[in-house]
Amino acid sequence: MVDVRSGIGEAVPPAEVEDVELYHPHSWWTRYVFSQDAKVIAIQYATTAIAIGMVALVLSWLMRLQLGFPDTFTFIDADRYYQFITMHGMIMVIYLLTALFLGGFGNYLIPLMVGARDMVFPYANMLSYWIYLLAVLVLAASFFAPGGPTGAGWTLYPPQAILSNTPGGRDWGIILMLSSLVIFIIGFTMGGLNYVVTVLQGRARGMTLMRMPLTVWGIITATVMALLAFPALFVACVMMLFDRLLGTSFFMPAIAEMGEQLQYGGGSPILFQHLFWFFGHPEVYIVALPAFGIVSDLISTHARKNIFGYRMMVWAIVVIGALSFVVWAHHMYVSGMNPYFGFFFATTTLIIAVPTAIKVYNWVLTLWRGDIHLTLPMLFALAFIVTFVNGGLTGLFLGNVVVDVPLSDTMFVVAHFHMVMGVAPILVIFGAIYHWYPKVTGRMLNEALGQLHFWITFLGAYAIFFPMHYLGLAGVPRRYHDLGDASFVTDSVHSLNAFISVAALIVGAAQIVFLFNLAWSLRHGREAGGNPWRATTLEWQTPETPPPHGNWGKELPVVYRWAYDYSVPGAPEDFIPQNQPAPGRVTHEAAS
């Protein structure tokens, strides 16, 4: 077996292709608006995602007000409540998390981390963003359409999604939602192909696949998964649009709605669920894998120690990605599908726990004997470990088919997926922004505001979602506008709901501190310099900060080592950049 730091001192392969000639912008419009520069596109993606994400945040406030204090806010009627939860869920999963991780971090970091000047297809990359923006606008338009947005739940299960007793079912809501998803997938495909080709073809000399930072591994694996999973959602959306608009019956059996026979017949609602979750489960990892990758690099950099078990980490990412395509029906244990599927899907689901656990061990073992700097990115990484382990472990309840039966469709599920694919990845996003903001802007984010933001967000989010599991255990179903009187729970359930709502309002408000910090530090932040964290990876070695168009100036970087040469014994500094030629273990060269 080769040494993991493989190739230290090996000859660097000769350049196979000439350096690319980039498109150079000629005006303000092509530089900042219709830009083909991946870094600008990244910021456009991130800004749009965060903007629509703020809408989702406000929606979560409104739904928590209703759950915590039913009968108090009369404008949140059942219709609006279901519209709020639906839009909150879809925005967070697709338009915020997927877009921010892949479109935002992917665009910014992939070219810089693999040593490329830009994405391989800059024009398609630009189109990708504008189509994404169109998808967001179509989605947002449904708030203003007759009948309002769809209230079908983010899973959009037919038949109710396109029937009259669901908000937006016979109005514009569901049509705009499905259209927006179709547009999003078209846009994503352009970006996604770009990321894959750039990683496969655009790497700098010496940047072998097994020298790439885990951030790139996480993003690229998630992108490949998204390219394979989104088509299932795409066809499901198109088929449901046909059912809604053309009167086909892909997902619609014979239906007697309020005693009246509808003109549908012969379709299968469960077919939609299979298509949806064939996309939907990989989607969980499309969000999680970039977070896994990024947090690995945050921990390694700020603990001044190589990531423990790099090769195992890479294989775990790839294996999790592959396995996530054969577990989808664990979302459907009580859907009425053939119950014998339960054996298969419970087994595959629990198998995923093994590579996932290995990743957790390797994160904490990276801390072991490290030199831990409690910077903001490290704090967020620690908070990620706690929340991800918590949310991952409750997945073992829900994945284990028979344990899922009492918990399915209860608040336990809501608590679980928020902890594992909401709180945990978002903590990584925050950590990543505190980590890379200095590269993007040249200035550090304010530390005091960051500490305030961190502690409220971390402890507040835990206070929201940890107790929420117990509501589900007590039997409280999810997607109830108003639980009302329920004989199987005590009144204290309502007190807990009120507590959770107060915590949610506070955590939401803390994000204003964060947004303020982003804006304030742009002008007033401390000057960062090119490599404030003393990190090894290529994006910190650019000749200028922020990196200009083309990233590298005249010469492309050449890579001599893996991404994790921290605290190499004998080296003069506790990090050796990837593009530093001297073998790290040979001290006299480095010292001279």
Partner 1 sequence: MAVVVILVLLAAGSVLFHLLSPWWWTPIASNWNYIDNTLIITFWITGFVFVAVVLFTAYCVFRFRHRPGNQAAYEPENKRLEGWLAVSTTVGVIAMLAPGLVVWNQFITVPAAATEVEVVGQQWLWSFRLPGADGKLGTSETRDVAPENSLGLNRNDAATLDDVIIEGGELHLPVGKPVKVLLRSVDVLHDFYVPEFRAKMDMVPGMVTYFWFTPTRTGTFEILCAELCGVGHPQMRGTVVVDTEADYQTWLAEQQTFSQLTASSENSPKAVTDVASSAQ
Q: Which amino acid is at 361?
A: Y
CB of 438 to partner 1, least distance (A): 19
CB of 584 to partner 1, least distance (A): 9
CB of 49 to partner 1, least distance (A): 27
Smallest CA-to-CA distance from 456 within 493, 412, 421, 423 is with: 423
132 or 308, CB closer to partner 1?
308
CB of 450 to partner 1, least distance (A): 14
- Residue 443, beta-bridge partner list: 527
| Cα 60 to Cα 330: distance, rounded to the nearest angstrom | 26
133 or 372, CB closer to partner 1?
372
Q: What CA–CA distances, in Å, run from 525 to 320, 436, 437, 448, 453?
A: 39, 14, 10, 12, 16
CB of 59 to partner 1, least distance (A): 17
117 or 274, CB closer to partner 1?
274
CB of 169 to partner 1, least distance (A): 8
2 or 17, CB closer to partner 1?
2
CA dihedral 523, 114, 214, 44 (to 10 degrees): 40
Q: What CA–CA distances, in Å, run from 329 to 178, 230, 267, 275, 393?
A: 22, 16, 19, 10, 19
178 or 286, CB closer to partner 1?
178
CB of 265 to partner 1, least distance (A): 8
CB 99 within 8 A of CB 49: yes
| Helix/strand/coil for 266 | coil
CB of 482 to partner 1, least distance (A): 6
Query: What one-character DSSP code corresponds to residue 32?
Result: I
CB of 11 to partner 1, least distance (A): 22
Smallest CA-to-CA distance from 178 within 226, 244, 253, 246 is with: 244
133 or 334, CB closer to partner 1?
334
| Cα 407 to Cα 402: distance, rounded to the nearest angstrom | 9
Q: Which amino acid is at 353?
A: A
Angle between helices 341-367 and 310-323 (to 10 degrees): 160
80 or 203, CB closer to partner 1?
80
310 or 552, CB closer to partner 1?
310
151 or 422, CB closer to partner 1?
151
Q: Radius of gyration (Cα) for the chain, nearest Å?
A: 24
CB of 452 to partner 1, least distance (A): 13
34 or 143, CB closer to partner 1?
143
Maximal CA-CA distance, the chain? 88
Smallest CA-to-CA distance from 434 within 541, 504, 533 is with: 533
What number of CA atoms fall less than 13 Å from residue 240's CA on the CB side? 32
| HEC sequence for 426-447 | HHHHHHHHHHHHHHHHCECCCH
